[in-house]
Each structure stands twice: as structure tokens, then as C-alpha cells.
Amino acid sequence: MNKTEFLKALEKQLKYLPKEDRDDALNYYSEYIDDMNFAENEDISIRLGKPKDIAKNIISECAEKTIDKHDSEKGAKSTAKIVWLTILIICSSPVTLPIAIALLTIVFTLVLTITVVLLSLGLSALAVIAAGIICSVLSFMLPGFGTKLVALGIGLIIAAVGALLLIITIFLAELFIKLIILICKAIIGKKKEA
Amino acid sequence: MTYQLTAPLLDACVIGVVAAGDTYGYTLTQKVQEVVDISESTLYPVLRRLQKSGLLTTYDQPFEGRNRRYYSITEDGKKQLDFYKAEWEVYKNNIDKLLGGASNE
């Protein structure tokens, strides 16, 4: 593996990192290889290490940096970035491919299931709120003051129950996002020790 | 090597080498490798981290028609190095005490 081949392989391993991080790493190793003074036909990866292993180090450092940033600036974008980097780390870790695929499938299925459940809960809550409001509005069309009042009361209660359901759903969703970040941090932290 | 190098100690060693004079990735790795068993690719993430936390800065200088990135220490880096040195002194003395059996004085 010569210099060009090595850098190309490294670039391929780092293709999902932000461009700035990738270019910095490639520049560093390009300089480094020049300084190592390789012979014409020498295999660079024997002395320097395999591109895949080097990429693993770089990705881990990038992930730690993102987590540090996430602690100071919250937001959906940085959460997505953490999840993304965790997937990269799992893929670049030495566990065999079938296990990695199985792990990712399990995580993906779990996330998908919980997301769907939360989404349907939220939609049900919205439907209940709507039903309550419609009931309250329609109550004015009913004959008799007493009946109007009872229907209005029932409508408002239903709307309140819906609102409560919505609040609980939002709370659960936030908890769920926190859990995902925690799991990602655990995985990244584990890689750091290795 | 019998004893393991921990992350903070490696940080301290790298800052120490840079404090002795501006240097670039390859020679830096060589100097640390003379003493500690690390791989060629160990220092890149370390240098990135130290740079991000403002302990080291970099500048580029042309060399034989290409670029060479030098690392130099910042004021914060010097302070951190003093801290690491003091911590190391305490740790070293305590270990020496245990090894010398002086703990049961």
C-alpha cells in the first residue's frame, strides 16, 4: 500500500465525518507519511497501521468532541449527530459484521417501535382534545340550559384529559431522547477505554 | 513496558515535549516513543484534543515544497503543564514511599 492508496483508504473510512475533521486528519497523515521516509515499494500500513484502525481513533475523538459540545448546546441537530457517530463507531469496531448488523437491527427496531408508539399516543391525545372541543361547541346547539351546561362540562373534561395525555406523551418523548443519548455516550465511552 | 500510561499522563508528556520547543507530528511521536510504547497513530487524537481545549496551537511552515504543521504551547498549556508536573511529583513521591516501605513510619 503506497501513500496515495493509503490516504484514499483512510479518506473512505472517514467519509461520514464532517469535511473539516476529515481534511485535518488526512493532512496530518500525509505529512506524517512524508516524514517517515518510506522506501519506494514499502507497504506503509505495516509501520503506520491499517487505515481502518487509524480511522477508529479519529472517529472516537470526533464523537467525544461532539458529546462535549452537546452538553453545552442542546438541540435536535446535535442529538442526531451523536446517534450518527455512535452508529459509525459500532460499524468501525472490531466485532464481526454479523454481530454489528444484529446490534444495529435491534437498536433500530427498538427506536422505531418506541417512536411509533409515542407518535400514536400523541395523535390520540390530539384527537381526544379535538373531540372535547367539538363536544363543547356543539353543546350550544342542544335544547335546554341544563343540557347545554352538562354537554359543555363533559366536552371540557374530555379536552382536559386529551391535554393531559399530550403532556405525558411529550414528557415520555423527552425521556426517550435522553435515554438514547445516554446509551450513545455509554457506547462511545466504552470505546474510549479500549 | 510493565507500567501502563494513562490518558492524562500521555497528555502531560505531549505538552511537556511541545513546551521544550515547537515540533511537528512525526518528531513528537518519535520523542514520546523513545520512552513509552505507543503506536504511530496514538498522538493524532491527543494533539487534536489538546488543540481544541486551547492548550496547544498550530502554525504551518513550508518544508521541501510541502507543508509542515508545527505545534506550540499556549499560556493555558503552560499552566496545565505546571499542574501536571505538581500532580506527578506528589504521585511519584507517594509511590516511592510505598515501594520503599516507608508507609509504616
pLDDT of A94-131, one tens digit each?
Answer: 666 677 778 778 878 888 898 899 999 999 999 999 99
- Please give the residue of chain B at the shortest CA–CA distance from A47: B40
Domain-ending residue, one of A73, A106, A123: A73
How close is the nearest chain B Cα to the Cα of A116, in Å?
A: 39
Same domain for A188 and A106: yes
The DSSP bridge pattern shows strands B56-63 and B66-73 to be: antiparallel
Same domain for A152 and A101: yes
Strand partners, B66: B63
Q: Which residues of B fall within a CB distance of 8 Å from A28?
A: 25, 44, 47, 69
Asked whether residue A82 is assigned to any structural domain, the reply reads no
pLDDT for the residue numbered A95:
60
Question: Which CATH topology does B7-100 take?
Answer: Arc Repressor Mutant, subunit A (1.10.10)
ipTM for the complex shown: 0.87
Please give the Cα distance from A60 to A142 (Å, whole number).
66
Same domain for A108 and A57: no
Q: Which residues of B fall within a CB distance of 8 Å from A48?
A: 40-41
Domain span at residue A32 reads: 1-73
* Candidates A31, A54, A64; nearest CB to B41: A54
Residue B68 and residue A31: Cβ atoms within 8 Å? Answer: yes
Cell numbers describing residue A1? 500500500
B104 touches chain A (CB under 8 A): no
Residue A27 and residue B69: Cβ atoms within 8 Å? Answer: yes
B23 within 8 A of A30, measured Cβ to Cβ: no
B40 touches chain A (CB under 8 A): yes
Q: What is the pLDDT of residues A23-59, one digit of tens each?
A: 999 999 999 998 888 887 888 888 899 998 899 888 8
Cα–Cα distances in angstroms (integers) from residue B2 to residues B14, B36, B92, in the given order: 20, 10, 16
| B6-45 b/e (C-beta count within 10 Å ≥ 16 → b) | eeebbbbbbbbbbbeeebbbbebbebbeeeeebebbbbbb
Nearest-5° Cα angle at B88, B83 to B90? 100
pLDDT band (50, 70, 90) for residue A86: confident
Asked whether residue A165 is assigned to any structural domain, the reply reads yes
Residue B40 and residue A49: Cβ atoms within 8 Å? Answer: yes
Same domain for A186 and A117: yes
Which residue ranges make up each domain of chain B?
7-100
- Please give the residue of chain A at the shortest CA–CA distance from B7: A193
Same domain for A182 and A103: yes
What beta strand segments (E) does chain B contain?
Answer: 23-24, 56-63, 66-73
Same domain for A157 and A121: yes
Q: Which residues of A touch B (CB under 8 A)?
A: 24-25, 27-29, 31-32, 34-36, 47-49, 53-54, 57-58, 60-61, 64-65
Mean pLDDT, rounded, for A65-70: 73
pLDDT for the residue numbered A194:
46
Q: Number of structural domains, chain A?
A: 2
